[in-house]
Amino acid sequence: VFQARILARRLVGQETRYEVQVKTPYRHRFPLVPREYVWVPNACGCPPLLEGREYLLMARRHVNYEHTLNRILLQGDGYARPWSPREDRLVREAAWHC
């Protein structure tokens, strides 16, 4: 779970790759660097993320069976909401209880 600004969007085969600037990591299940690629496994880019905007993303680390692919995956039904102070408050409150 992290807050990110969308820097760029690119179609790569049947997937969409977003270059993001990680602003605030909320959960530390895997290390994040200041710039990451977030992959969406479809060409429509669903959920739609607009360049220049900030979002709260709940993504997962995807490692394939051969351990040759290690990336952040945001599935089509994943959580991607425009970031707001309200979203920030809700995530911090949830983290306190989890």
Would you say domain 2-97 falls under CATH 2.40.50.120? yes
Give per-residue pLDDT as tens, 4-40.
999 999 999 888 999 999 998 887 777 888 999 999 9
Residue spans of the domains in the chain: they are 2-97
Query: Closest Cα partner for 91 from 29, 36, 47, 25?
Result: 25
* pLDDT at residue 64 tops 90: no
Give per-residue pLDDT as tens, 82-95.
998 888 788 877 76
- What predicted TM-score, i.e. pTM, was given to this entire model? 0.82
